[in-house]
Amino acid sequence: MLSALGLWVSRWTARLLPEPFVIAVILTLVAAVLSLALGPFPKLHDPSISEKTFALLDSWRSGDGLWKFLAFSMQMCLILVTGHALASSPPFRSLFRALSSLPRGTAGAALLVCAVASLASLLNWGLGLIVGAILARDVGRSLYLRGIRAHYPLIVAAGFAGFMVWHGGLSGSAPLSMTTMDSAVKVLPAQTIALLRERGMGSGLPLSLTLFSPLNGFVTLGLIVLIPLTSVLLSPRGPQEMRGIADCAPSALPDVQIVPPETPAARTFAERLDRSRVVNLFLAALLIAAFWRFGRSAGLGSVGLNEVNIGMLALGLVLHGTPRSYQAAIDEAARGCGGIMLQFPLYGGILSMLVASGLDARIAGALGTSTSPTVLPVIVYFLACALNMLIPSGGGQWAVQGPIALEAGMRAGIEPGTMVMAVAYGDQTTNMLQVFWALPLLAITGVKARDIVGYTALLMFVGMAWMVLGLVLFS
C-alpha cells in the first residue's frame, strides 16, 4: 500500500510541479502578493499600495535581497563539489570495488549500501549522495557478475535513503550557518539577529545546541540504525520478484571492451606541475594548518560551513594526488551547481519582501503565541517537509523558513537549537520524494524514478515517525 502511495505521490508531483527555478519564480510572486495583502509594513506611515510596492521592490533588489545569499550560495556549491570530487577519488573507487564484493543477496546489499551512504552523508551531503549512487551501482554489477539474483531497485533506493540523515551531520547547512554571528547575519534578517542577542546568543549557536545535542544524537543515530534495517525487511523473498541490474538498468552494466588510454609522459615544465603531487600536498598542508588554528582559537563547537569546506578540500587534494586529477573532478561536479546559483538569489528576494512587509514577524508571532512549546517544533517540522517539495535546497529552505521558525520558537520559549533542527529534519525527510536530488543517482545507477520511489516513500514514513518522536521527547 505504501509503495503504491509513493508511486502515486511521485507521479502527481512530476505532473504538477515544474522545475525548481520556475517554482522559485512562482514563490516570488506569491510572497509579493501576500506581503502586499497581509503585511503591516511597520516602517511606513499610512502606506498606500504604491508605497508598499516600491518598498518591496527596493528591498528585493537590494544587497539584503537578491544578493544577500551570495556568500552562502558559494558555500553550498563548495559543499556539493568537494563531496562529489572526494567520492570520485581513486581511494574511494577502490573502496567501492572492495565493498561491492561483500553482499551475498539483496538484504545484505541493501544494508551495506544504506549504512555506508548514511555515514558518508553525515560527513558531507554531496559525498553521501554520490557514494550511495556509485556503491549501489557497483554492488548491483558485482552481484550480476557473480550470478546472484538480487533486487536492484531496492539496492538503489537504499543508497538514496542515506540522504535522509545529511542535515544532522557535519555539512548541515542550517546548524552550521548558525555557529557564529558573522555567518548567521549572511542568512538571517536583522530583527532575528536582534532577538538572538536579546536571548544572550550574540555569539551564535554552538554545535552543542544543534548537531551535538541530545535531540540530534537520538534522531540521527536512530536513523542510521533504523533505515538500513528497514531496507533489509523490504527485501523480496521469491526469485520471481527479483529484478537485477540487467533487467531494469542494462546501461549501468560495465563495458569490458573499453580500455582506458595510457596517459603520455609529461614533457614540459608546466605538464610536470599539473601532475605534481607536491602542489596538492602543499595546499592541503596549508588548509589543514588553517583548520587546526581555527579549532585551537575558536573551538570545534564553532565549526561552520567554511571550516567543513576547508577539511573536504584538503582531503580531496590528498586523495586525488595531482592538480590535474582534482581539477577534472571539480569540473565534473560543478555541473550540479546551476540550480544553486540560479535559485538562491530568488530565495534571498523572497525573504527580503517578507521582512520589509513585516509579514514574517506576524507569522512568527501567531505561531509562537498560539502553539504550545511541545507542539510547535512538530508543526514547524511538517511545514518544512511540505516546503522542501517546493524548495529542494536545504540551504535555500533554511533561508526562507529559518527566520520565521526561530522567531516563533523564541516567542514560545523554545531553545533556538531545537527550532533549527526541526527545520533541518523536515528538509531531509521529503528528500525521499524529491526528484531534484535523485537525478544524479538515477543517472549513475541507470534506474527510473518509478523503480525506487515506492521504497523511498516507505523509508521516509519510517524516518518521519522517528523524527517526530525525537522532537516530542526533547522539546
pLDDT tens for 56-87 read: 999 898 888 888 888 888 888 888 888 888 88
Flag whether 360 is in a domain.
yes
* Range(s) of the domain holding residue 411: 2-44+56-251+335-474
Flag whether 319 is in a domain.
no
Closest CA to 251 of 105, 109, 444, 101: 444
**pLDDT tens-place string over residues 121-173:** 998 888 888 889 889 999 999 998 888 888 898 999 999 998 899 999 988 88
CB proximity list for 424: less than 8 A, separation 6 or greater? 167, 168, 172, 174, 175, 384, 394, 398
Q: Label residues 226-242 b or e (16+ Cβ within 10 Å = b).
A: ebbebbbebbbeeeeeb
Flag whether 306 is in a domain.
no
Dig out the grid coordinates for 387 from the structure. 516546503
**pLDDT tens-place string over residues 227-279:** 999 988 888 876 666 777 877 777 777 654 444 555 666 678 888 888 888 99
Report the alpha-carbon distance of residue 472 to residue 475 in Å, rounded.
6
Flag whether 155 is in a domain.
yes
The one-letter amino acid at 403: P
Flag whether 49 is in a domain.
no
How far is the CA of 193 from the CAs of 85, 187, 188, 419, in angstroms? Answer: 35, 10, 7, 15
Report the alpha-carbon distance of residue 206 to residue 289 in Å, rounded.
22
Flag whether 274 is in a domain.
no
Angle subtended at Cα 378 by Cα 129 and Cα 456, rounded to the nearest 5 degrees = 30
Tally of domains in the chain: 1
Q: Minimum mean pLDDT among 107-111, 160-164, 165-169, 435-439: which range?
A: 435-439
- pTM reported for the whole predicted model: 0.81
Backbone angles phi, psi at 89, to 5 degrees: -75, 155
Flag whether 27 is in a domain.
yes
Angle subtended at Cα 445 by Cα 90 and Cα 396, rounded to the nearest 5 degrees = 85
Flag whether 128 is in a domain.
yes
Q: At what angle do helices 125-145 and 435-445 cross, to 10 degrees?
A: 30
Cβ 414 vs Cβ 475: under 8 Å:
yes
